[in-house]
Amino acid sequence: MDKALDRALVWLRRDLRTDDHAALHHALRAARQVWCAFVFDTALLDPLPRQDRRVEFIRDSLVGVDAALRALAASHGVDGAGLLLRHGVAEHEITVLARQLGASAVYASHDDDPAALARDARARGLLADAGVVLHTVKDHVVFERDEVLTQGGNGYTVFTPYKKAWLQKVDHFYLSAYPVARHAAALAPLPAGSSGVPALADIGFEPSNLHQLRLPSGPAGGAELLDDFIERLDRYADTRDFPAVKGPSYLGPHLRFGTLSVRRLARLAHEQMVGGSRGAEVWLSELIWRDFYHQILHHHPHVVGHAFKPVFERVRWEHGRHADALFAAWCEGRTGVPLVDAAMHQLSQSGYMHNRLRMVAASFLCKHLGLDWRRGEAWFALHLNDFDLAANNGGWQWAASTGTDAQPWFRIFNPVTQSQKFDAQGRFIRRYLPQLARLPDELIHAPWRARPVDLAAAGVRLGHDYPEPVVDLDEARQRTLARYAVVKGAGG
């Protein structure tokens, strides 16, 4: 095949793999020589704490990507290939590298986060000044931007009709993999003097507890988790809501950083759904939610920092010293409400929080503590291994009733009944709050309701071993109804 370009560079960002990779596929087909690069972007890294599980996950995943590139090139008789690594401001580093390689084009995957769009606009300008074209393509979702629209040509703002349109449009074409391997002979050897993936210390970070958590990284780690989940997929609908049960896929970080292709996952889910699997049907719905929130971010970028429904900007959240104390209690898992506290300890210890508990914890912050959803959104953004702006923002606005397709503002999760329903035996609570372990099942969900004799028998002193609730749930509910009443008759 006669190729249009002599040299091209693939800029990896949130697509850390080599198989079914859109940008890599297009570059290999277009150019006679292709290199792949990743930039440890100081604009993103500098604000982070020096121990960050996500940075370590990315770094470890790049080791796998480097090995995969070497093997892929070697299978076509090309020795010395691999991944180029840089550390600095991404748009500057990628421009310098493209110049050094003599590349006439850079290929990358779309990223609709506003900060990423601004970065890519700067990169496009810098590259153009260097005579290099930046091509970006869809990779991170099945359907993006304007691919699924209403009959009126607008983006959907309600999930159910969006899901219906998504399912009507999806077919083999949209779910099929990009055949990277057949074009891999174009992978080029690394320039002389290229070094491998840097150690964490080389980019200014320290090891976290990622390895102790047994969260496998890279494409191989994603495949390992997927193989395990496939065996449980049929039961997903029945197990996904129970935090003490191995129900979820645990693939969040791999989707976030693209170590697994979303097309591969959606294809698997769709095929098994067509085959009658209820679990696969529910899981596919979760993947469609992910697409939904990404197209919301594209069409309505004001959701970053503002309520999707402007009327909810009228809601007045608690502020001042007392509000700060409530927020600290929530962050540190000492609200006195066991399910909420256990969820927050799970997050701080592992960077993971069960999806059901994300809803419970978020609702509690907004609708019992009366705190601005943006404070919780930022806390999750700092701590979640799988933090994704579109999904995190969508989830928080759903819980706060300020967003698209959100729960009604007068619907308030009761954390005690949620606990009784989804952790009836208190197994999850006991894992993260061992000081409550000796309480009987019927009392562990709301220890403040226990008789003093029962607390004493379990060795629990409220206010000493475990805090009293920071709010009265019933009173807090009434305050929330009053707080949100400002939107009545105003489109809320």
Residues of the chain with CATH 1.25.40.80: 141-177+220-299
Torsion from C-alpha of 41, 46, 51, 53, nearest 10 degrees: -40
Distance separating alpha carbons of residues 394 and 296, to the nearest angstrom: 8
Question: Does residue 409 have an active-site annotation?
Answer: no
Question: Does residue 385 have an active-site annotation?
Answer: no
Dig out the tokens for 380 from the structure.
């999750």
Q: Over the stretch 13-53, which tens digit does the pLDDT of each residue have?
A: 999 999 999 999 999 999 999 999 999 999 999 999 999 99
Residues of the chain with CATH 3.40.50.620: 5-138
Distance separating alpha carbons of residues 378 and 383, to the nearest angstrom: 9
pLDDT tens across the length of the chain (492 residues): 688 999 999 999 999 999 999 999 999 999 999 999 999 999 999 999 999 999 999 999 999 999 999 999 999 999 999 999 999 999 999 999 999 999 999 999 999 999 999 999 999 999 999 999 999 999 999 999 999 999 999 999 999 999 999 999 999 999 999 999 999 999 999 999 898 999 999 999 999 999 999 899 999 999 999 999 999 999 999 999 999 999 999 999 999 999 999 999 999 999 999 999 999 999 999 999 999 999 999 999 999 999 999 999 999 999 999 999 999 999 999 999 999 999 999 999 999 999 999 999 999 999 999 999 999 999 999 999 999 999 999 999 999 999 997 678 888 999 999 999 999 999 999 999 999 999 999 999 999 999 999 999 999 999 999 999 999 999 999 999 999 999 876 555
Q: Over the stretch 287-330, which tens digit does the pLDDT of each residue have?
A: 999 999 999 999 999 999 999 999 999 999 999 999 999 999 99
Query: What CATH class does 310-486 carry?
Result: mainly alpha
The dihedrals phi and psi of 33, each to the nearest 5 degrees, come to -135, 130
pTM: 0.96
Catalytic residue among 373, 379, 398, 448: 373
Vertex 314 angle, CA 308 and 117, to 5° = 30
Q: Which distant-in-sequence residues (6+ apart) come within 8 Å of 485 by Cβ?
A: none
DSSP H helical segments within 368-446, as ranges?
Answer: 373-383, 389-400, 415-422, 427-432, 441-444
Question: Does residue 392 have an active-site annotation?
Answer: no
What DSSP state is assigned to residue 462? B
What pLDDT sits at residue 411?
A: 85
Residues of the chain with CATH 1.10.579.10: 310-486
Distance separating alpha carbons of residues 302 and 374, to the nearest angstrom: 13
Question: Does residue 355 have an active-site annotation?
Answer: yes
Catalytic residue among 144, 147, 281, 317: 317
Q: Check: CB of residue 334 under 8 Å from CB of residue 469.
A: no
What DSSP state is assigned to residue 185? G
CATH of domain 5-138: 3.40.50.620
Catalytic residue among 283, 289, 398, 448: 289
Catalytic residue among 396, 398, 409, 448: 396
b/e burial code for range 441-477 (CB count within 10 A of at least 16 → b): eebbbbbbebeeeebeebebeeeeebbebbbebeebb
Question: Does residue 286 have an active-site annotation?
Answer: yes
Residue with tokens 């869809």: 138
Domain topology for 141-177+220-299: 1.25.40
Catalytic residue among 147, 318, 355, 414: 355
* 134 beta partners: 106
Question: Does residue 396 have an active-site annotation?
Answer: yes
